[in-house]
Structure 1
Amino acid sequence: MTKCFLSSRRANYQKVMALMFAISFGTTVTAQNKFEGLEHLFTVPKSYVVQHTDEALKIDGNLQESAWQKAQWTTNFVDIEGDLKPAPFFDTQVKMLWNDSTLFVAAKLQEPQVWATQTHHDDIIYKDNDFEIFISPANNTHQYFEIEVNAINKIFDLFLPKPYRNGGNALISWDIEHLKSAVQIQGTLNKPGDKDKGWTVEMAIPLKAIRMGFATDPPKEGSIWRINFSRVEWDTKVRNGKNVKLTNAEGKNLPERNWVWSPQGIINMHAPERWGYLQFTRKDNSEFKMPYTEYQRKYLWLIYYRQKQFQEKNGKYAATLNELGIEAKQNVEGQSNQLKMQATDSQFTASIAGEDAKLISINDEGLIKIINSK
C-alpha cells in the first residue's frame, strides 16, 4: 500500500513537470526573453536566519522556553504555486533554533477541526492533514530528507537520493535516529462536534542524523542549507460523527491543498532548487545575504528547464546553447560569466564560471556541483 501510494504521488509530480514544460515551450525562446514562460520557477525563495541557543529545550509542543519566545516566526504559508492561487484560509507559521547537535523546528497550524487517522510510524501521513519538513544540507538537490507528522504525532520520515522527477525512489526504511517530536492540540482530536483552534508541532532533529554518510560539514557561522515546509489540508465534511474527505462525481477524493512557506511555483515539493534558504548564525540580528553562487545557479537551472522542454518536444536534448536560445556570455549581478554545455541525445552537463576561480555545474539529473577552480 505504501509503495503504491508513493508511486501515485511520484507519477503526479512527473505529469505536472511534463505539463509545465509543454505549456512553457509554446513560446519561441530568444536571448531577450530567455526566462519567458518560466517566471514562476525563478521567484526568489524565502530565507530564514536561525539563531543559535544554549538553552535546554523540552520537546513538549508548548514552546514556552525563552529561546522560543525570542525566535521569529516565518511569514504565513502561501499556496504551493504562489500568487497563481488564492491565499490559504488557515494560518500556518514556523520558527527555528539550533545548537551544536540539533536543529529545532516549531510550527503552529490554525485548524478548526483537528483530526488524524494514521496511527503507525511510516504510515502515509499525508493521507491526513499534516505538517511536512524538507531538508537539503548539501544544497545540491540530491540526498535530501523529508519528515511528515500528523496531529497525533505519528512520523513518516524518508531519504531521497534524488528527486522523483529524476528517477529517485524514496528510502522509507531510513529513520531519523534520536528524533524527538511532540504535538499539542488546542482543542480536541477527532471530535467534529466542537470547534478547535489548531495544533502545534515541536521537533528536535539531530544534525548527525541528516547527513546519511555523505560529506556535509556541520553548520558553522553563515552556513546555508535549503529547507521548506508544507502543510497538507484536505477538504472534509462531517458524516456519522466523523470528518470525511470530500469526493468528486466519480467518488475520488478531491485533491489536497498544499500550503507552503516558500512557494514552489509548481505543485511539486520535490524540486529542492525551489526551497527556501536556512542560514545558521550565532550572532544577534544577523541578516540573510544571498551567496553569489546562488545567482549563478539561476542560469544553470535555466539550461536545465529548457533542456527538459527541448527533450519533451524533440525526444532528445539540445546539442548547443544556441538551440535553447541562451547566450554563452551572461552578466550576473554585474560580473561577467561564461556558460558552457556538453550534450548527447540522452545526457547533458552545463557549467558556469565567473571572475573568481569557482566553477558550478549541473547535469541532466539536476545534480549541482561546485568546483573550486576553472
Structure 2
Amino acid sequence: MYTNELIKKSGFMKKAVFFSFACLPLLFSGNVNAQKSFKGLENLFTVPKHYSAGFAASAPVIDGDVTDAVWANVPWTDDFTDIEGDRQPAPYYKTRCKLIWDKDYLYIAAVIKDPDVWAYVKNRDEIVFQDDDFEIFIDPLNTTHQYFELEVNAINTIWDLYLPRAYRNLGSGLTSWESGVRSAVKVQGTVNNPSDKDQGWTVELAIPYSKLNVKKTPAEGDFWRVNFSRVQWETTVNKGKYIKNKDAAGKNLPEHNWVWSPQGLIAMHYPERWGYLTFSSAADGAAQPAFQMPYAEKQRNYLWLVYYRQKEYEQKNGRYAPSLKELDIAPEFTVDGTTSALEMEAGNHQFYVSVKAAGQPVITINQEGLVQVLK
C-alpha cells in the first residue's frame, strides 16, 4: 500500500527541504531576534491562506455540477499554486474550489481545468493519486493528529484515510475509516480519450461532521485547518492510453503538486502548514467577516520552531537537545506586544515544550508533533 510515491508525499523531515522564501510574508516578520531564530526555516512559516465558508441557505444537489444556483454567489478560493510556493513556476492549468456548510455537512465544489482528462484507478481505497486527482485534508482539532484525507479522481473513485499522526512521526493512514462522503464528478469532455481535447472536470462533495471526530456542529467563528491539493502527472499517449513520462532510468517523473495554501515543501502531511477554514453564520455569498489570526496561532509558531530545530538536532546528533540554549532559541518572545515564555523538558528520545502568556491558555507540543491546549 505504501509505495515510494506515498512515502514521498508523507514528507519525512529532510534538511534539504529547508529553503528560504524571503519574498513571502512571514508570521514573525516584525521581530528581528525572531527572524534570526527562524533563519533557514522561512519556508515553513509563511502565513497560511484563509477562507470563510458561509452557511448554506439550501443544500446543494451532489451531482458534480458546480454551476447550480446554490453555488452562484459563493466566492472561489485563490487559484492553486505550486506546493512549494513562489519557488516553483505557477501551475499551467487552473484549479480552485469553494465551500459552504450547514448543520450536518461541509460542502466542497472544485473546478479542475485540464485538456486531457484521464483516470484508471477504479476501486475504492486504492491509491488514487496514481492518477491525476483532487485531494482534501482536514484537521478539525488543530492538533496535527487525528486528521483526515480524501482523494477523488475524474471517474469519482474515492480514497479516504484517517491518520492518527503524520507519516513523519511514523504514523500510517488507516483506510478502514469510512468518511461517509457523498461525491459526484462531471467531466467537461471525455475521459481516457486522447483523440480529443477536454475542458476539465468538476467535483462536488458533502462531508458529514459525524465522521470527522468533532463533538459538535461548527459555530460562528470556529476554524479548522484544511488544505486542498491537485496531483498532475506529465503524460504521453501510447496505443490510445495515457502513459506517465519517465526518466532515463525508466522511473516515473515526479508529479506536480498544486495546492490552495502553499506548504513550503513537497509534503502535504505537515498539517501545521495548512490554511484556515472559518465558519460564518452569514448566508453563503454574503460579505464574510475579516479573519484575524488568533494570538494562540502566533504562539504555536514558536512551538513549531523548537520542534523543527529538535528534529534537525536529532538528525545530526542522534538525540534531542537538552535545552533551548543548545538550540539557540530564546526562552521568551514578544508578539503583538505580549510576552510569552517557552519551557522545555527533554531526554535523548523525547521532548515536551510549553508556551505560556498572561491571560492565555498553555499550549504544548511533543516529539510526535502533537499540539495540545491545556485548559
Q: Same fold (TM over 0.5)?
A: yes
Using the alignment, how far apart are the partners of 2:185 and 2:65 within structure 1? 8
Report whether the alignment pairs 1:268 with 2:267.
yes
Give the structure 2 partner of residue 18 of structure 1: 14
Report whether the alignment pairs 1:334 with 2:337.
yes
AA aligned opposite 1:18: K
1:216 shift after superposition? 4.2
Q: Report the identity percentage.
A: 49
Deviations 1:60-86 (A, max 9, x none): 111233331111101110111111111
**What does 1:76-225 correspond to in 2, within 5 Å?**
76-177=79-180, 179-211=181-213, 216-225=215-224
1:15 shift after superposition? 6.9
Using the alignment, how far apart are the partners of 2:300 and 2:358 within structure 1? 15
Deviations 1:57-112 (A, max 9, x none): 11011123333111110111011111111110000001000000000001001100
Give the structure 2 partner of residue 359 of structure 1: 362
Using the alignment, how far apart are the partners of 1:113 and 1:81 within structure 2? 25
Using the alignment, how far apart are the partners of 1:81 and 1:126 within structure 2? 18
Runs (5+) with no aligned partner, structure 2: 21-32
**Match of 2:14, SS?**
helix
Using the alignment, how far apart are the partners of 2:11 and 2:260 within structure 1? 23
**Match of 1:281, SS?**
strand
AA aligned opposite 2:245: L
- 8 Å CA contact retained: 1:22, 1:312: no
Give the structure 1 partner of residue 23 of structure 2: none
Using the alignment, how far apart are the partners of 2:70 and 2:280 within structure 1? 14
Match of 1:55 among 45, 54, 58: 58
AA aligned opposite 2:319: K
1:175 shift after superposition? 1.1
- 8 Å CA contact retained: 2:11, 2:167: no
Deviations 1:259-298 (A, max 9, x none): 0000000110000000000000112422222111100001
Using the alignment, how far apart are the partners of 2:218 and 2:164 within structure 1? 21
- 8 Å CA contact retained: 1:41, 1:265: yes
Give the structure 2 partner of residue 309 of structure 1: 312
**Match of 2:118, SS?**
coil
- 8 Å CA contact retained: 1:106, 1:202: yes
The two structures have a TM-score, normalised by structure 2, of 0.92
- 8 Å CA contact retained: 2:18, 2:40: no
1:13 shift after superposition? 5.0
AA aligned opposite 1:125: V
Mark the CA change 1:297 to 1:235 in structure 2 (over 3 Å): closer, same or farther: same
Using the alignment, how far apart are the partners of 1:15 and 1:137 within structure 2? 21
Using the alignment, how far apart are the partners of 2:34 and 2:316 within structure 1? 20
Report whether the alignment pairs 1:371 with 2:374.
yes
Using the alignment, how far apart are the partners of 2:8 and 2:118 within structure 1? 26
Using the alignment, how far apart are the partners of 1:152 and 1:333 within structure 2? 49
- 8 Å CA contact retained: 1:16, 1:267: no
Using the alignment, how far apart are the partners of 1:51 and 1:223 within structure 2? 12
Deviations 1:304-329 (A, max 9, x none): 00000111111111111111111111
1:209 shift after superposition? 1.2
Report whether the alignment pairs 1:281 with 2:254.
no
Mark the CA change 1:44 to 1:240 in structure 2 (over 3 Å): closer, same or farther: same
Using the alignment, how far apart are the partners of 2:35 and 2:93 within structure 1? 41
User: What is the aligned residue count?
Assistant: 359
- 8 Å CA contact retained: 1:295, 1:333: no
**Match of 1:135, SS?**
strand
RMSD, aligned CA: 1.6
1:235 shift after superposition? 0.2
**Match of 1:113, SS?**
coil
Give the structure 2 partner of residue 27 of structure 1: none
- 8 Å CA contact retained: 2:66, 2:203: no
Superposition misfits of 4+ residues, deviation over 3 angstroms? 13-16, 19-24
Using the alignment, how far apart are the partners of 1:10 and 1:62 within structure 2? 31
Using the alignment, how far apart are the partners of 2:277 and 2:164 within structure 1? 21
**Match of 2:237, SS?**
strand
The two structures have a TM-score, normalised by structure 1, of 0.93
Runs (5+) with no aligned partner, structure 1: 25-29
- 8 Å CA contact retained: 1:31, 1:325: no
- 8 Å CA contact retained: 2:209, 2:217: yes
Deviations 1:217-264 (A, max 9, x none): 321110010000010000001111111110111111111110000000
- 8 Å CA contact retained: 2:138, 2:226: yes
